[in-house]
Structures are given as C-alpha cells and as structure tokens.
Structure 1
Amino acid sequence: MVTVKRITTQHVKDWETRRITPPAPFTAAHERMKPFLKLLDPSKVYITHIDRFPSAFKKQIFLVPVILNLSIFIALAWRAYAILPWYGQVLNLFVGNPSRLAVERDLHSKAGLVWIVVRRSFNFMLDFVLIRFIASWPVSFFFEQPCSPVVWRWRVGFRNEEIVVRESRRWGSQELLAGVKTGKESPFFKTRILPAIDRMWIREKSGYMMMNGDWDLDFYAMTEAHRFVDQNKLELKDFEKTILAHTEGMGWVAWRAHELDTGMEEEEQRKKIMKLKDKLTLMGKESLFFRWIEIVQYESGKPGDFDSKRQVETMEIIKREFERQGVDFEKLVQEVGGLDGTPGMQT
C-alpha cells in the first residue's frame, strides 16, 4: 500500500524558505556589485581574488605565451604563403583547367603514383590539423571577443595588485546550487571550489597560471573590474577572494571566503614572527628582531598607502639591516617557512 504524506502549511513555508534563501555558505551578493555582476554569465560559477605577485614577475609570465603565440602566428602565415598557390593548382584540377599538378598516369609507376597520393594527402592532413587545432591558439590569444588576453593586458597593464576573475569550465551554477545537494554539500563545492581557493595554491600561482580543466579566466570581466575600480565605482577589496553563483529566485549569491582566511592568516603570521624571534634570540640577535619591528612601524607610518611597492622597499631595508649584523637573511626566512603576507615582508 502506497503511503501518501500530508502536505502541511509548514511544508510549504519550508519549501518557500529554501527557494529564496541561499544554501550555506552563500549569502546575497552586495547591491554595489550589481554593475559588475551584470557582465557575468548566470550559468557559470565565478571566483574573484587579488593577484599580489610583483608586476615584474607578471611580465615574465605573460612574455612566454606572447612569444609562443607570435611564433605560431608567423609559422602559420609562412605556411599559408607557401601552400596557397598549391591549393590554387588543386582547384584548377577540380574545375578542369590546366594545372601543374596534373598527373600523366602512363609516365609513373604504381609506387610513384602511390607516393604522389601520400604526399598530397599529407598536405591536406597537415593543413587540417593546423587550422582545426593550432590556429585557434593565436587567434584567441590576440583576437578573442569580447576581450582577448592581449587586449586585457593592453588596457590593464601590469600592476602589483590585479583583479583575477575565474569562470567555471564545463560546469556551473546548476550543478552547484540546483541539485539534491547544494552549497557546501554539493560534490562540486568540495572537488572544484575548495581546491581552487586553497590559500597556499593561490599564494604560489599568479592569476594567468590558474587556467585548467575546471577553470578559465574571464578577461573581459577582469578588464571591466579594473575600470570600475579606477573610476571609484567599486573598491579593490570588493574583489577579494569571493565565489559568485546565480540561481533562480535568489539572483546572484556570494561566499566571501576571504573573511575566513583573515583569522587563519593572522595566526599563521603570528607563529612565523615568533619563530623568527626565537631563532634570533638563540643567535644572540634578539635586538635585531625589535629593529625589524621599528623599521616596519616607521615605514608603514609614513604618509600614503603602505602598498606592495612600499612593502618591497621596506623588505630591502630590513634585509640590509640583517646582513649588516652578519645574519643570513635569506637562509633565516627559509628556516621559518617564508614570510609572505607578514607585514614588511612583501616580496
């Protein structure tokens, strides 16, 4: 006998609540982000964060695909220049016009005819592979619409603090928010999002190096995000590590993962600072630790923002002070596990 459950008013209320309440850990996206969110594809999931690698390093990273794609483009242009006359002769054969590719069968052995077929088939196959698989690389790199990597760099330039916007590839909001298990219970949350926002992984990779099978870069969104910031319509901090997704009934929702990182990073930095102090104390150089604190306080107290550039300059001052007192700065930093993110130690 089939059991029929009674649907009560409470059931209806619960369903309605679930329909309009974002699944944990997501909450409604800030109203001020609406101009930016309008640029995004509702079917995809997005991750924003700030890439704080030095601009010089980003130039080196970007130079590699520039050289690679430019080389491919030149090679394809040479191939087109060299092979187009040959295809003109092939076309003449098809339409019955005189062609230097015409073959007098009586003048060739069977092996010779086979070799002609193989050689011409190779040309067709090679050009098919070049057009189908290789040509798309430089085309997308230089000319992709609405914004290519080259256009992104041309408009944004190279900055010490850059907005990175990643978009999901071959999966999206439907899988994350509309399945039986949603939000943090979704398998996509655990296998696609958590690895992509891992603090160490983000700290070790510049934004352009984050493209993989699960995530691509939205160059148009990154360009427009910087435009909003440059025009003071949004702030850089609005793009700190956040996951964005869209669902019917709720619109855009966000998980501000950077808020969870803050406490963890502060504790990690505190442990590293204490480890540095302990090592200097064992070396009889405890005063050098307090000198470091003085330098950071003095430099950060100067007028203006204590940005990445000034932090790098502060680190150089600290490094010279350590070396002046006979302490191998690089070795000491390595022993405490690095000092990235620690005040005055921005590299």
Structure 2
Amino acid sequence: MAPAKRAGKGKQAQPKPKDGAPPLPFKQPPEVLEPFISTLSEKHIYITHIDTKPADFKRKIFLVPVGMNICVVLLFILRMFWILPWYFKLVASAMGHPNETTWTATDATWSEGGWEVGKRAITMLFDFVLFVFVWPWPIEFAAGQAHGNPCQWRWQIGFRPKEIYVRRSRDWDQLLKDIFTDKDSKTILLTYLQQATSPILQEQKTGYLLMNGQWDLDWAEMVHAHSLVDKKDIAIEAFRNLVLVHHRDYGWMSYDLKVSEASGEDERRRQVFAFRDTLTAMGKEDLFYRWVEVVQFESTRPEGFGPDEQEAAARKIRELFEDEKINFDELWKQSIGSMNSSQA
C-alpha cells in the first residue's frame, strides 16, 4: 500500500485541541447563555452590548425614525389619493371608454407623441419606485417578521436605563471561509469585530445608531434577551460586550475582547470622554479643551516628554484646575468611577 501524501504546510488544517476549546482569541461561551444562543442563526455573527444612555435620550432618538415613517405613510397615502383616479381612467380608456386620458397617436406629431409617452413613463416609474423601494420601509418598521421590528421591540421593552442591543452581521458573513484555516477570512472577521466593539463607538452612540453596512439590529433577539433577563434566567451583565461566532468544529464560540491590541488605547480614550462629560455637566467644558491644549503642547515640545517634563506638565494642569477651584485628581477619579458604575 502506497504511503499517504503529506498535506502542504500552508494548507494543513489546525488540529482541534483535546479539551475541545477553540484557538485564541476565541473561547467557549458561558453555559448560562445557552437559552439565548440556542435561538441564534448559525449563519451569522452576533454582538451584544448594554446601552446605558438615559432613557429620555433613547426615547428622543427613537422618535426620529417614528416621525420619518409616519411622514412616508402620509405622503404615500396622499400620492395614492391623487394618482389612483388617473390610473383608473387609463384602464377605462384602454377598455374602450374614452376620457381625458385617452390619446390618439395618429393625430399627434412625433414630438408630441414622444412627450406624452415620456410623461406617462416617468409617472409610472416614479410610482413603481415608491411602491417597491419606499413603501416597505414603514411596513418593515412596524410589522417586520423576519427578525422582529422596532415597534414590537419598543412596545415590549419600553425605554430603560440599561438596554441590551443585539447586532447581527449582514451578507458579508456568507463570504467567510474557515477562519482557522483561511487567513484572509480571519483577518476580515477580526477587523469587523474590532471596529464594531470599539468602546469609544459604543460609548458615544446609542445602540439604535449602530446599524451600518456591516451590522443590523436583531429586534427579535433583543426582545428575547430582555425576556430572559426579566425572568432572571440570565443576568444582564452576561450580555455586556459579547461576541458570538459559530464554527463547524467548535460550535458557538465567543470572541475574547480582552486580547484586542487596541483595547487599552480605547479604554484610555473612553476615560478621557468620561472626564469631558463630567466637566461638561459642571459647566466647565472649556476647561477640558484647555487641559487638552496643555497636554498636546507639553508632549510635543522639541526637548521631548520625559519624566521631568511630565511632572512639570502635571503641575501646570493642577494649577489650571485649582484656578477654577477644582481638584484635578479627585475629579478624574470621580469621572472614572462614574464611568465604571454606569457599566455595572
């Protein structure tokens, strides 16, 4: 019997660990999430996080698409009220009942005929676009069934200080191959995940505004997640910064966000934004920008930014805040503490 051919190193599949754990940066999701994970589609990647924006702010944001969809419905009804009689007359004319829409081509010139055909074609094309591409917006908003709809979500969840948002990958996920054997697929996946889970992005935008070309919101799963929390089957903290990916060999895996190289930098930026928000709430937003100017100026001086220069900059910053009767160190700790408490 001839010996089996060896697989090339570049195409060799990565062996599955003995304990069944997926390779880093993935790991097995907590068992407590099984009731939630069991309802997910294996074709998609999911991201969950907790939005701690004030309930009133979320209500105002949601009123924008509500108003837009109401306007679309009203304009569509107005258009139908105005144009439907014209279509009925066209049909009646075609069936042998002359009316003002009846037009005899033999009595018209080429220019007159072209103008009349063009007007009717543009009118019909406009109504076709409205019916096929615009009208589905309010229908999906209020009565979508594939993944739920925003109205059903808000009706059942309401507006809460802490809300679970579930994002679902769009069609790009179908182009991925095995992320453990295909380097390009893994790179694409991790790039999208790192962009979507950036602490700065999630801190600055409420969850409703995180829909984009790569991610949709899964309304039905958001309702399901909250129902599990309300029944105390799962703690709400289990949904904080959770990424779920399905693999044919390992089943559902969670992406370990702590291994992201950019997580430390994102956390520092998040602290700066929290500090800015604290100063803004105190009516001292201008002090924040003066602080930024001092840091930028001192850190870019030609002599460098060594320990001595850093100490001198710290003294200037403390004096700047003392002139406003603010203890910089205490305020920084307070702002970071409030950021952590809002995540709790």
Same fold (TM over 0.5): yes
Shift of 1:243: 0.8
Counterpart of 1:65 in structure 2 is: 65
Q: 1:174 to 1:234 in 2, by over 3 A?
A: farther
Map 1:6-155 to 2 at 5 A: 6=6, 15-17=15-17, 20-105=20-105, 108-146=108-146, 147-155=148-156
Shift of 1:36: 0.8
Counterpart amino acid of residue 134 in structure 1: V
Contact 1:44 1:172 in 2 (8 A): yes
* 6 and 39 in structure 1: CA distance in 2 versus 1, 3 angstrom threshold: closer
TM-superposed CA distance for 1:54, in Å, is: 0.9
Quote how far apart the aligned CAs of 1:112 are: 3.4
Q: What is the total number of aligned residue pairs between the two structures?
A: 297
Structure 2 residue identity aligned to 1:141: F
Give yes or no for contact 2:199–2:270 (8 Å, CA) kept in 1: no
CA-CA distance at 1:172 after TM superposition: 2.3
Offset of residue 99 of structure 1: 4.7
Contact 1:22 1:28 (C-alpha < 8 Å) held by counterparts = yes
* Structure 1 residues 264 and 238, CA gap change in structure 2 (3 angstroms): same
Shift of 1:117: 1.6
Note the C-alpha offset of 1:124: 0.5
TM-score, normalising length from structure 1? 0.71
Deviation string, structure 1 residues 224-264 (Cα, Å, up to 9, x no partner): 10111011011100100011011223221112426986998
Contact 2:179 / 2:186 at 8 angstroms: preserved in 1?
no
| Alpha-carbon offset, residue 26 of structure 1 | 1.1
CA contact (8 A) 1:48 1:243 kept: yes
Query: Structure 1 residues 196, 328: closer, same or farther in 2, change over 3 A?
Result: same
SS in 1 for 2:213: coil
What SS does the aligned partner of 1:186 have? helix
Cα displacement string for residues 263-314 of structure 1 (whole angstroms, at most 9, x for unaligned residues): 98599759969x99978953696xxxxxxxxxxxxxxxxxxxxxxxxxxxxx
Name the aligned partner's letter for residue 210 of structure 2: M
- Shift in alpha-carbon separation, 1:247–1:19, aligned structure 2, 3 A: farther
Match of 2:338 in 1: 342
**Paired AA for residue 169 in structure 2:** S
* Partner in structure 1 of residue 319 of structure 2: 282
Give, in angstroms, the shift of residue 82 of structure 1: 1.8
Q: Name the SS of the counterpart of 2:42 in structure 1.
A: coil
1:161–1:97 Cα change, 3 Å: same
C-alpha distance in structure 1 between counterparts of 2:189 and 2:18, whole Å: 18
CA root-mean-square deviation: 4.2
Verify the 8 A CA contact 1:165 1:219 in the aligned structure 2: yes
Distance (whole Å) between structure 2 residues aligned to residue 227 and residue 145 of structure 1: 18
Tell me the amino acid that sits aligned with residue 165 of structure 2: V
TM-score (structure 2 length as normaliser):
0.72
**Secondary structure of 1:15's partner?**
coil
Match of 1:246 in 2: 246
Cα deviation code 1:112-165 (max 9, x no counterpart): 333322221121011111112211221111111151111111111111111011
Q: Counterparts of 1:124 and 1:132 in 2: how far apart (Å)?
A: 12
Equivalence for 2:186: 186
- Distance (Å, rounded) in 2 between the aligned partners of 1:341 and 1:137: 42
Alpha-carbon distance between aligned partners in 1 of 2:317 and 2:111, rounded to the nearest angstrom: 81
Q: Which secondary structure state, in structure 2, belongs to the residue aligned with residue 227 of structure 1?
A: helix
CA contact (8 A) 2:89 2:99 kept: yes
Whole-angstrom CA distance in 2 between matches of 1:88 and 1:231: 55
Q: 1-side partners of 2:174 and 2:122: how far apart?
A: 44
The 5 Å alignment of 1:142-181 reads 142-146=142-146, 147-172=148-173, 175=176, 177-178=178-179, 180-181=181-182
**Runs of 5+ unmatched residues, structure 1:** 286-324
SS at match of 1:252: strand
Question: Where does residue 203 of structure 1 map in the other structure?
Answer: 203
* 1:78 shift after superposition: 1.2
Report SS of the residue matched to 1:339.
helix
Contact 1:152 1:220 survives alignment (8 Å): yes
Contact 2:14 2:180 in 1 (8 A): no
In structure 2, the gaps of 5 or more residues are: 279-287, 292-313
| d(CA) in 2 for partners of 1:6, 1:109 | 79
Q: 1:240 touches 1:258 (CA, 8 Å); kept in 2?
A: no
Partner SS, residue 17 of structure 1: coil
> What is the rounded CA distance, in whole Å, between the counterparts of 2:316 and 2:45 in structure 1?
45
* Residue 341 to residue 94, structure 1, CA distance change in 2 (3 Å): farther
Q: Percent identity?
A: 29
Helix, strand or coil at the partner of 1:232: coil
Could you say if the C-alpha distance between residues 28 and 95 of structure 1 is closer, same or farther in structure 2, counting changes exceeding 3 Å?
farther
Change (3 A) 1:18 1:25: farther
Q: CA deviation at 1:186?
A: 1.2
* 1: CA distance, partners of 2:107 / 2:27: 79
